[in-house]
A and B are shown apart, each in its own frame.
Chain A
């Protein structure tokens, strides 16, 4: 029996040993083994194995460098071939790279936007433990969810519960004028804050002591940029600012500017302790403060909420006794309640939109919409790539066949195709960075954010981009790589296999592309129509040619002379002094009672705006019943309601009735108002909401001055008004805005989103068309001979064009069938967010389909007609 040397040792030797020595070494070892084995086979085997191990030394181990060199050569060849292919088919390369680059750039921009939106308030070190206390109040027919609490809520919770580490409150103060030299400059983002502000939020202090910064009256904390504005430096602690030309405030601290991704954008803070109402122990009212609670690590917010509700009920009891003479149980039994809930700090920006928010927040809905669009765009671009590559497989198939015959393995071919697609992606990525760079200013303008190009510097972004390039390269290159490399060389070279006219996979991809495009077109149309509806809707007042002048409260005694002077200015038709306007956020809610018994069940909360007798004519509001206010003292206890309030009260003839209200006065705690008029409903909040009950009270509110202008030369009117202002109040800035602009600002986010969706939808359609164009070019090229023969046999141009377009149009029709229900469902959901909305019209979807069909037809026919018009002699001459 012949004994073989140990196989395992031999395998090991073959694994590590250099090829050029292997045979010799193996031979020698086996020769020795053959001799040894005659004495003892076991010994011989051991000796053999040991010898093999002794050969495991640098001289005989395969050189890895050597191996790499080989692969490097192969990859060099892949790159060269890849580059040549790109350069050879310039048209396709342009479509591929251009489409991918636009897609990637769009994704990058959307990514920037989404990332920024999602990062709100994350900069706070204790962000995961900070919660805002929100209240839900049901009181008779009033039911509200508000982002604010009563003044002592946080303080009480802090002393009652060990689970709470700290609490702080913020309240919007508004704006004031700061004196710099001789001029006063308006600072619009001022907040009341507690001294614990810096314990809860991460607001780095540059100068001053955060512990004591907000403990003294008449102190102020500035942000870095405000400090620089007035002093050109940040080291200004101890200096004073002159506020509103009269009072002075001592600067106690300067903090870094608040990041743009914070849910508040204040530029200065003043201490809450100046405000007496901030320390009043009232629980059933005065919900004015955004209260933040910092929980201790590990505290469950849900159990905390239960505890806080118990605390709230406990303190509510005496208040209810005092104000409505009911116990808490009685109050709850009639279905009324006060509830507190906790909103996570990082959820405020995207998930909270309640009355009492410090600033308008974002909307999670749009984050989803944008992410979906980004994915769509990327997929459309990738599909282009895949489709063009597979369509071109006829040309490449022959190459694949020859390569295979020459000994190329399947994995070599896969590598080659993947290298090509990676190369394309790399170019696309580089190009997309360029596109992003160029389009960033435009994007900033559209979104109202301020992204800069520095995001490229961060490691994670670069990592992400490389990752994205690889993933896109793999995705877009995988289908051609695996599909083409599987061809049988014999079949390919004989010409029986390769490109097939009917590719189900390719058609499915095109159908998907067009479904996505139709979805986006329909969505864009709906958003556009809704925006147009809002813009053109009769809002119950006119906002054209209205000038709003700020800082009226600074005029003091000069107000009357100023008003008189203004009426003399040519073009001024009327003016009204009040801060309550449909286009700003100055709001005041009061509880009114229909009877002097003040039964809480019948109370209604009504917006109560203090206006003068000129308000209704200046705003072009219509009185539908009764009369307007008369100038003078007579109407101080008169009230004008809007239709919504009248309807709410449910009286037959409202003008006969009276309304009652609690006042602060001890002597006459109940005020009685005569209803003197009904004004037509007008929209004073977002069209997402129903018009709410509103009442006008007669009085003077110096929050602003609205001037009704009737002139074709607005500029000269403004100049004349400014001249009047300068002559009466030198030193105060003349600030004005147009009411229609303010209105636009109310719907700014909606408009921005609308614009962005339009742009990205157009991009996706453009990329789809690029792909379709490439595909159409290819198919007509393939069928040149067929077309030539058909023409010779008498086919008409129209007939050939139809022939070529038919297949594609079928796909687009299928896409319409798929996309329409989805588009209908999604737009329906979006419109539910608006109380005043357009109804979904069938023609929008038909229109979207037709647009897609039209664009597709246009793209294809370009090639089809060109092919149909070509002289058949040319196409048939060759061969």
Chain B
């Protein structure tokens, strides 16, 4: 059953939005992911993810005040919606359930 669709990168973006809370706009999200996960994020890819998430209804956006450093363009802030929160929880639960189902032997053997 495809109850909630959430890709790996999309999940990371959502988690980052949650971390940034009130300060989650495009560039801030990108910088946060880059500094925390030490991976390079292209602007285009991130925007694509944001567009998709908004389309799915997991996040919503509102325009902030125009700022000097953006030459008068307003920042667009993102917020997680209730549906988004459910999707994140679902994703986490399924992972946990899967983790819980792994027999100890399996991983031990692998690491041995």
Q: B-contacting residues of A (Cβ < 8 Å)? A: 21, 23-32, 34, 51, 54-55, 57, 59-60
Q: Taking the nearest CB of chain A, how far is it from the CB of B37, in angstroms?
A: 19
Q: Taking the nearest CB of chain A, how far is it from the CB of B50, in angstroms?
A: 9
Can you pick out 29 interface pairs between chain A and chain B where the beta carbons lie within 8 Å of each other?
A21-B47, A23-B73, A23-B74, A24-B47, A24-B76, A25-B26, A26-B73, A27-B26, A27-B70, A27-B71, A27-B76, A28-B25, A28-B30, A28-B43, A28-B70, A30-B71, A32-B27, A34-B69, A51-B43, A54-B42, A54-B44, A55-B44, A57-B44, A57-B48, A59-B47, A59-B48, A59-B51, A60-B44, A60-B47
Contacts of A60 in B (CB 8 A): 44, 47-48, 51
Contacts of A26 in B (CB 8 A): 73
Q: Which residue of A lies closest to B30 (CB)?
A: A28
Q: Are B44 and A24 in contact (CB under 8 A)?
A: no
Interface of B is mostly: helix
Contacts of A59 in B (CB 8 A): 47-48, 51-52
Tell whether A30 pairs with B43 under 8 Å between CB atoms, given A57-B48, A59-B48: no
Kindly name the residue among A24, A34, A54 whose own CB sees the greatest number of chain B CB atoms within 10 A: A24
Contacts of B47 in A (CB 8 A): 21, 24-25, 28, 55, 59-60
Q: Are B43 and A24 in contact (CB under 8 A)?
A: no
Identify B43's interface contact among A23, A34, A54, CB under 8 A: A54
Task: Indicate with 1 or 0, residue by residue over B46-88, a CB within 8 angstroms of chain A CB atoms.
Answer: 0110011000000000010000011101111000000000000
Q: Taking the nearest CB of chain B, how far is it from the CB of A12, in angstroms?
A: 14
For the complex, give the distance between the alpha carbons of A34 and B69 in Å: 7
Interface of A is mostly: helix
Q: Are A28 and B44 in contact (CB under 8 A)?
A: no
Interface band, chain B: 10 to 19
Q: Taking the nearest CB of chain B, how far is it from the CB of A366, in angstroms?
A: 71
Q: Are A55 and B43 in contact (CB under 8 A)?
A: yes
For the complex, give the distance between the alpha carbons of A21 and B25 in Å: 13
Q: Are B44 and A21 in contact (CB under 8 A)?
A: no
Q: Which residue of B lies closest to A27 (CB)?
A: B73
Q: Are A21 and B43 in contact (CB under 8 A)?
A: no
For the complex, give the distance between the alpha carbons of A23 and B52 in Å: 17
If A24-B73, A28-B27 are given as contacts, then 20 extra A-B residue pairs at C-beta distance below 8 Å, sorted by A number, are A21-B47, A25-B47, A27-B26, A27-B75, A28-B25, A28-B30, A28-B43, A28-B70, A30-B69, A30-B71, A30-B73, A31-B27, A31-B69, A54-B42, A54-B43, A54-B44, A55-B43, A57-B44, A59-B48, A60-B51
Q: Are B26 and A28 in contact (CB under 8 A)?
A: yes
Task: Indicate with 1 or 0, residue by residue over B19-53, a CB within 8 angstroms of chain A CB atoms.
Answer: 00000011100100000000000111001100110
Q: Which residue of A lies closest to B47 (CB)?
A: A25
For the complex, give the distance between the alpha carbons of A26 and B52 in Å: 19
Contacts of B75 in A (CB 8 A): 24, 27
Q: Taking the nearest CB of chain A, how far is it from the CB of B31, in angstroms?
A: 10
Q: Taking the nearest CB of chain B, how far is it from the CB of A80, in angstroms?
A: 33
Q: Taking the nearest CB of chain B, how far is it from the CB of A652, in angstroms?
A: 115
Contacts of B26 in A (CB 8 A): 24-25, 27-28
Q: Taking the nearest CB of chain B, how far is it from the CB of A335, in angstroms?
A: 95
Contacts of A23 in B (CB 8 A): 63, 73-74, 76
Contacts of A57 in B (CB 8 A): 44, 48
Q: Taking the nearest CB of chain A, how far is it from the CB of B5, in angstroms?
A: 16
Contacts of B25 in A (CB 8 A): 28
For the complex, give the distance between the alpha carbons of A34 and B76 in Å: 18
Contacts of A31 in B (CB 8 A): 27, 69-70
